[in-house]
Structure 1
Amino acid sequence: MIIRKSIIETLKEFWHTTSIGGIKQIRNLENSKFERVCYIAIFCITFTTACLFLRYTWDSTFTTPLIVTAESFTYPIKDIDFPAVALCNFNRISKKALEEYSLLAMKKSLKSGRRNVTLIQLRDYLQSYGKLIDYLYDGNLQRIIDDALLDELEINIPNLMQKLSPRCDEMLIKCKWAGREVNCSEIFHTRRTGLGHCCAFNYVLDMNSADRPSKTIAPVKRQKVPGPHDGLLVIADPMPEDDVYQKAKRNGFQVLIYDPRQFPEMSGGKAQYRIAQPNQVDVLQIKSIKQYAAPEVHNYPRSTV
């Protein structure tokens, strides 16, 4: 009884002293009944709107509490990772490498006592591996080469494709990095990409680490001074005379620009694609946006990102 009386007195005091518009008019007996009903309706609409807005603010804050803000628009280039660059010849299989490996496979075949396979059949079979990049395959070739011979030849598809691909040390003629001329073999390495084996620069992801960025094979390179002459410059020869299996009926290179810690796959949007044609200079300007997370982000589940 005492609690009820205290609540009633508190409400009466609130009605008399509140500064919220409309409440005093609701209790004011001098107003007509219609005016008081209108004030009640306005108050209910205002109160409901405020509750909905608070609920929306609550949900948006606790479901997606992370906010991206611009720290600076003049970030030093020395603090930004240089992207990985892969040069992929339109020719996926080198004629020279194909002949050498076919002869090696033929010698292994003869040494094992198998004489029902010719050098031409072996060469055609090895050349057919280029179709794996196009997701094509000729089943008739598998009937020529039986599984037993494949085991004797010790064919490992990734290693085989790397051996048959055009050699980087033959295609890359001259390289400059950070304003200094360097040996191309020091900064470019044959790496696996979504377009096959390519000559990759600054690609540090460990091939056996999938999407785990912590598994890297080298530190990421960074450009210290802005400008085209202080970036990466490459003079390359597509060697059209060495063509055996072209991914497209053209000469030149497919250029992939991507994150050094991610596998370059165009279908997933993880790589930018350009074409470099013979007898021309291609200049690619790169704009970078760096995002990093504060340590507190680790306390939130992934669903809130």
Structure 2
Amino acid sequence: MRRKASYRILADTFRDFTEQTSIHGLKYVCQRNISLSERIFWALVTFCGVAMAIFMTTLFWNRYTSNPTRTTITTLHAPTLAMPFPAVTICNENLVLESKVRTFVKTLKYDNISEDDLVDLFFQLQAFTNSDQVYWNLQDLKSLHFLMSENKYNLEDVLREVGPNCKEMLMSCQWNFRIVNCVEVFRDTYTKLGLCCTFYGHWRLSSILEKMKCLFLNRLKNKRTYTDNYGTEGTLSLVINPKIEKNTYIQGAGLRILFHDALSYPDFRALKKIITTGTQTQIQIFGTKILCSSGVSELSLEQRGCVFPGEVKVKHFSTYSDANCLIEKEAYELMDACGCVPYYYDFSEFPKCNILQLPCFIQASTRNGSWQDFSNDCPASCEDTLYEVKTTQVKLEKGDFYYIHSRDYIENLEEHTTQLKIYFVKFQKILQRDLLFSTVSLIASFGGIYSLFIGCSVITICEIIYYCTLRLLVKKHISERQIDSRK
């Protein structure tokens, strides 16, 4: 008897709900004075409305969770001071110079080998950066390793002795309309392209006032270099002697220019350009700075797909970037595979590979060469600075003079001498990432969907809760009292 009463209470409660609710389709379905065909029609209408509302809700929710942000243009006319000048890394295609090798071998102790054969051994070093062009020989590598061990040289020292360095290649440097000492604004750096020269823009200053000013600005700017100049004569102008020699083990000659953030390792995200020697080359830099609104930082890492400073840390670098993170991951992979890392991973305390381990890390680098293997562990930075470059080259004939400064000319340079001008364009671009859908917008969208398809509102939700809880309990209590009174 109590079970039948419970069924009757549920039926009465549902009938009361359909009569009072704002969902009009349910009213017609449950009305007793309309025909069965009309009820079926309104049932289909109600069902389709609910289905469409659920479908649209799913679409909005997926859009909110998978792509909750949008990027808009803040300005296309930002000054050059709005973003740091990129670090510029210049690498020579020729890792080994025969003239320097012959000078170096005269200082070595060796037996049972001619000087010419010994010189040929050193060209095996080209395989460290051009393994696809240089066919290394394991026996030659063993002989070179034995020679270096006997004379107590490591690989980094040998490369400095036999390859072009910054002091030799850079003949003249101009930065912000002033002639500067090249060795004070460039430093030798090891990269996958060999021994390179990297411009960071911090040079030694003579006066105490300039030193204090530079120290203060560098602290504010996080060791990045800024400039308020632009145009061909206003930023960085160089005269480079690439030290081209006839005897080389690689095909062709030139310079590779890498543009990257000063706090990032010049590898993964570095923008690379190949410069032909014996040219006057102008490189325009177009900067794009990406900023984020406060709402983006409130999203989860999975939603925004990027990280803010401090959220992810790297062990060997002071600042996180996806390039620093990825190069660390590769270093660990190479360490596991070969028990060492290449010489150009000077940021790591891992043991450096010697010459005999060249085959191992070349094979490991080829096998694990896809950066996508580590991309899930190294998300991009939410706020970043990106660079694009446009290059213009003009061939210079031997004997042409090179304009460096309004009162400084260098004449009768060698055939392959290259003039390089790297500068910001007048205006830079600033973008901002903000929320495409905030929580309030999402709720408003849901309200519009359910109002459109089934006439549902907050009042309707309250009615559903009321009839499923309070009204049902009251009816059940009244029914139980009536049953007890009958007994």
TM-score bucket of the superposed structures, by smaller chain: 0.7 to 0.9
Contact 2:177/2:233 (CA < 8 Å) preserved in 1?
A: yes
The answer to whether the 8 Å contact 1:92/1:245 transfers is no
| Matching residue within 120, 123, 134 for 2:119 | 123
Q: Is residue 39 of structure 1 aligned with residue 38 of structure 2?
A: no
Alignment check: 8 A CA contact 1:93 1:127 kept: yes
SS at match of 1:91: coil
CA apart distance, 1:60: 5.0
Q: How does 1:25-174 map to 2 (within 5 A)?
A: 25-58=28-61, 61-62=64-65, 64=66, 67-70=69-72, 72-73=74-75, 74-105=77-108, 108-109=109-110, 115-135=111-131, 136-142=135-141, 144-145=143-144, 147=146, 149-174=147-172
CA separation of 1:46 and 1:231: change in aligned 2, threshold 3 A: farther
Assess if the C-alpha contact under 8 Å between 1:188 and 1:200 holds in 2. Answer: yes
Go from structure 1 to structure 2 and tell me whether the alpha carbon gap of 1:4 and 1:77 turns closer, same or farther (over 3 Å shift). farther
User: What SS does structure 1 have at the residue aligned with 2:230?
Assistant: coil
SS in 2 for 1:284: strand
Aligned-partner Cα distance in 1 for 2:278–2:128: 30
CA contact (8 A) 2:69 2:304 kept: no
Q: TM-score, normalising length from structure 1?
A: 0.75
Alpha-carbon deviation of 1:203? 9.2
Give the C-alpha shift of residue 220 in structure 1. Answer: 1.5
Q: Aligned pair count?
A: 278
* AA of the residue aligned to 2:153: I
Letter in 2 for 1:195: L
Q: What stretches of structure 1 of length at least 5 have no aligned partner?
A: 110-114, 205-217
Partner Cα separation in structure 1 for residue 84 and residue 173 of structure 2: 19
SS at match of 1:278: coil
Distance 1:234 1:98, change over 3 A: same
In the alignment, the residues of structure 2 paired with residue 146 and residue 75 of structure 1 have an alpha-carbon distance, to the nearest angstrom, of 54
State how far apart, in whole Å, the 2-side matches of 1:287 and 1:221 are: 16
Given the alignment of the two structures, is residue 175 of structure 1 paired with residue 177 of structure 2, yes or no?
Answer: no
Q: Summarize deviations over 1:159-211 as a string: whole Å, max 9, x none.
A: 3223322122222222222233222212112212222112221299xxxxxxx
Answer yes or no: is the 8 Å Cα contact 2:165–2:195 preserved in 1.
Answer: no
Contact 2:185 2:201 in 1 (8 A): no
Is residue 289 from structure 1 mapped to residue 293 from structure 2 by the alignment? no
* Distance of aligned partners of 1:226 and 1:29 in 2 relative to their CA distance in 1, 3 Å threshold: farther
Which secondary structure state, in structure 2, belongs to the residue aligned with residue 181 of structure 1? strand
Written as runs of structure 1 = structure 2, the 5 A alignment for 1:213-232 is 219-232=223-236
CA distance in 2, matches of 1:244, 1:52: 70
Q: Please name the residue that 1:193 is paired with.
A: 191
Deviation string, structure 1 residues 8-51 (Cα, Å, up to 9, x no partner): 66644442343435333323445432232122123223213323
Paired residues of 2:96 and 2:122 also in contact (CA < 8 A):
no
Equivalents in 1 of 2:112, 2:298: separation in Å? 62
Question: For residues 274 and 71 of structure 2, what CA distance do their matches in structure 1 show?
Answer: 35
Alpha carbons of 1:44 and 1:276: their partners in 2 closer, same or farther (altered >3 Å)?
same
User: Does residue 245 of structure 1 match 2:248?
Assistant: yes
Task: Report the alpha carbon displacement of residue 80 of structure 1 after superposing the two structures with TM.
Answer: 0.9
**Cα distance between partner residues in 2 of 1:298 and 1:96:** 60
Partners of 2:175 and 2:167 lie apart in 1 by 16
Instruction: State the alpha-carbon separation in 1 of the partners of residues 177 and 201 from structure 2.
Output: 20
Once the two structures are superposed, what CA deviation does each residue of 1:116-167 show, in whole Å capped at 9, x if it has no partner? Answer: 23322322212211122122411231354563x4322223223322332212
Between structures 1 and 2, the one with greater strand share: 2
Write the distance in 1 (CA, Å) between the matches of 2:144 and 2:177.
51
Which amino acid counterpart does residue 238 of structure 2 have in structure 1? V
Local SS of the residue matching 1:46: helix
Stretch moving more, 83-92 or 26-35: 26-35
Say whether the 8 Å CA contact 1:172–1:184 is kept in structure 2: yes
Q: How far apart are the structure 2 equivalents of 1:3 and 1:203? A: 83
Instruction: Say if 2:262 is the partner of 1:263.
Output: no
Change (3 A) 1:195 1:14: same
Matched residue type, 1:70: T
Q: Tell me the CA shift for residue 72 of structure 1.
A: 1.8
User: Secondary structure of the equivalent of 1:98?
Assistant: helix
Unaligned segments of structure 2, at least 5 residues: 203-221, 306-487
Matched residue type, 1:48: A
CA RMSD for the aligned pairs?
3.4
Paired residues of 1:97 and 1:165 also in contact (CA < 8 A) = yes
